[in-house]
């Protein structure tokens, strides 16, 4: 059984001392976290519900930003504003199961989303919050209580620029809960892997997009990702119990 | 399927092949005889097309995207396939509706 920390895979080596937290799927362990960070992506759901009575909440969701890449990447605004810590993702680290965990507060065995082909969670999500808005790219990975705002890039525009363009009026508006899903990084990682130098243009774009969103918004912002990515055969892949896939950055900021 | 011409299933099929990344990272190759979506649609797409699947999945397509999409009959159901999409992110199982967005 593989054991992971936010910094490495330990394969079958079981270190003496330390706390092991099993990660399970269908009731069976797929691996274990050694000295796990206390935060899990399922906490996004619970934090949002706890914060909403105090004011507006914005969730900035960066698809494919693993904690390992976050540590290596140049993300000056995000780092300064959110000072993210490592959070555990869920298994399998794929967009649909992880997004469902972030938005329902449950693990896949409970919400029922296990693969890219599953779309309808079995339990309520944050989209049941009246007036909530989810901004997506060209597709809705999940079918939730109400449809998201779908965006398509204009000629010459990136997918994330289109999401930002759609999100800014809502950030400046009065939706109590705004969830903004940037998926351009994951798309690019599938082509080039997790090398921060090859991804520097996309990371710079995302850092600037987050800065603009935060400038337009007043309330509490949460920044989180669904899963990370590891390099494999010259490209990027995810879905494995690998520290690069299974840990993501998590941070909060009062704006 | 709403939004397709009446006899769309009798349209000539073309052979398509695609390779996608599976959850394990191993490439997966598939091929099928498929119907170009642009030929099956009952209307020209003006700015965008919204595809809805039986399970509620939503996808927005540009007119250019429509030109690269195919309806393939795979494992007992129709699937909207984009041979150039290595992530399968936009693949739609059991599309039920095509509407102007």
- Chain B residues whose CB is inside 8 A of the A188 CB are none
CB contact under 8 A, B61 and A119: no
Nearest residue to A226 (alpha-carbon basis) of A57, A20, A59, A5:
A59
Three-class DSSP category at A119: coil
Question: What is the rounded distance in angstroms from the CA atom of residue A38 to the CA atom of residue A105?
Answer: 15
pLDDT value of residue A237 = 87
> A3 — phi, psi (to 5°)?
-115, 135
Q: Report d(CA A163, CA A227) in Å as an integer.
A: 19
Q: How confident is the model at residue B26 (pLDDT cuts 50, 70, 90)?
A: low
Out of B21, B56, B61, name the one closest to residue A190 (CB): B21
Cα gap A56→A140, rounded to integer Å = 23
Q: How many CB atoms lie within 10 A of CB A95?
A: 22
Angle, helices A159-171 vs A200-216, to 10°: value is 10
Q: What is the pLDDT of residue B71?
A: 97
- The rounded distance, in Å, linking the Cα atoms of A93 and A84 is 19
Instruction: Provide the greatest CA pair distance for chain A.
Output: 56
Closest CA to A61 of A226, A228, A255, A248: A226
Greater pLDDT, B28 or A37? A37
| Strand A3-4 versus strand A28-34 pairing type | parallel
Q: What is the pLDDT of residue A252?
A: 98
d(CA A247, CA A187): 18
Q: What is the per-residue pLDDT across B48-85, written as a single tens digit (0 to 9) for each?
A: 999 999 988 899 999 999 999 999 998 899 999 999 87
Nearest residue of B to residue A187, measured between CA atoms:
B87
Low-confidence ranges of chain A (pLDDT < 70): 12-13
Secondary structure (DSSP) of A84-106: -EEEE--SS-SHHHHHHHHHHS-
Nearest to B59 among A95, A138, A191 (CB): A138
Q: What is the pLDDT of residue B24?
A: 56
What pLDDT is recorded for position B84? Answer: 82
- DSSP 8-state assignment for residue A149: B
Which among A99, A187, A190 is the top mutation candidate for probing chain B, defined by the most B β-carbons within 10 Å of its own β-carbon? A190
- A239: which chain B residues are within 8 Å (Cβ-Cβ)? 22-25
Q: How many CB atoms lie within 10 A of CB B58?
A: 22
Half-sphere exposure of A6 (CA within 13 A, CB side): 23
Reading the block at residue B43, the tokens are 């209307």
Q: How far apart (Å, rounded) are the C-alpha atoms in residues B34 and B45?
A: 20
**C-alpha–C-alpha distance, residues A24 and A115, integer Å:** 15
A residues 169-228 closer than 8 Å to B (CB): 183, 186-187, 190-191
Indicate the average pLDDT of chain B.
90
Query: Which class for B13: exposed (0-12), middle (13-18), buried (19 or more C-beta within 10 A)?
Result: middle
Of A224, A196, A1, residue with least CA distance to A98: A224
Residue of A119, A191, A239 lying closest to B55 (CB–CB) = A119
Query: CB–CB of A139 and B60 under 8 A?
Result: yes
Percent of chain B at pLDDT exceeding 70: 94
Is A120 touching B (CB cutoff 8 A)? yes
Query: Residue B43 CA to chain centroid, in angstroms?
Result: 16
B16 in helix, strand or coil? Answer: strand
Asked if B57's CB is within 8 angstroms of A233's CB, the reply is no
The confidence score (pLDDT) of residue B85 equals 78
Reported ipTM: the value is 0.78
Residues A186/A187/A189/A190 CA torsion (nearest 10 deg): 120
User: What is the per-residue pLDDT for A116?
Assistant: 84
**3-state secondary structure at position A21:** strand
Backbone angles phi, psi at A139, to 5 degrees: -145, 160
Mutate to test the interface with A, among B59, B60, B61 (most CBs of A within 10 A): B60
B24, B53, B56 ranked by CB distance to A239: nearest:
B24
Tell me the CA distances in angstroms from B34 to A27, B8, B15, B73, B75, one per residue in order.
39, 11, 6, 7, 13
């Amino acid at each position: 059984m593989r054991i992971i920390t936010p910094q490495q895979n330990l394969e079958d080596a079981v270190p003496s001392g330390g706390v092991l937290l099993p990660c399970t799927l269908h009731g069976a362990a797929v691996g274990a976290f050694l000295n796990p960070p206390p935060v899990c992506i399922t906490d996004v759901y619970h934090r949002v519900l706890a914060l909403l009575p105090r004011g507006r909440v914005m969730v900035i969701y960066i698809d494919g930003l693993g904690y390992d890449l976050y540590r290596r990447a140049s993300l000056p605004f995000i780092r300064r504003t959110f000072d993210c810590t490592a959070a555990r993702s869920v298994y399998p680290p794929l967009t649909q199961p992880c997004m469902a965990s972030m938005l329902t507060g449950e693990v896949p065995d409970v919400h029922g989303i296990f693969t890219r082909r599953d779309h309808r969670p079995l339990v309520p999500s944050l989209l049941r919050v009246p007036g909530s808005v989810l901004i997506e790219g060209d597709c809705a990975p999940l079918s939730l209580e109400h449809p998201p705002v779908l965006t398509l890039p204009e000629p010459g525009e990136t997918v994330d620029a289109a999401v930002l363009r759609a999100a800014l009026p809502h950030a400046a508006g009065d939706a109590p809960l705004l969830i903004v899903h940037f998926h351009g990084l994951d798309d690019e990682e599938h082509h080039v892997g997790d090398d921060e130098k090859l991804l520097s243009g996309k990371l710079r774009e995302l850092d600037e997009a987050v800065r603009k969103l935060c400038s337009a918004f007043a309330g509490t912002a949460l920044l989180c990702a669904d899963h990370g990515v590891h390099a494999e055969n010259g490209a990027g892949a995810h879905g494995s119990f690998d520290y690069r896939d299974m840990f993501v950055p998590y941070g909060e900021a009062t704006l | 399927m709403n939004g397709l011409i009446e006899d769309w299933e009798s349209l000539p099929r073309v052979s398509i092949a695609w390779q996608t990344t599976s959850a394990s990272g191993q490439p997966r190759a598939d091929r099928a005889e498929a119907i170009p979506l642009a030929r099956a649609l009952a209307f020209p797409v003006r700015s965008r097309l919204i595809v809805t699947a039986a399970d509620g999945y939503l996808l927005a397509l540009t007119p250019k995207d429509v030109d690269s999409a195919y309806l393939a009959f795979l494992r007992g159901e129709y699937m909207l396939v984009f041979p150039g999409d290595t992530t399968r992110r936009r693949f739609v199982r059991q599309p039920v509706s095509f509407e102007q967005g």
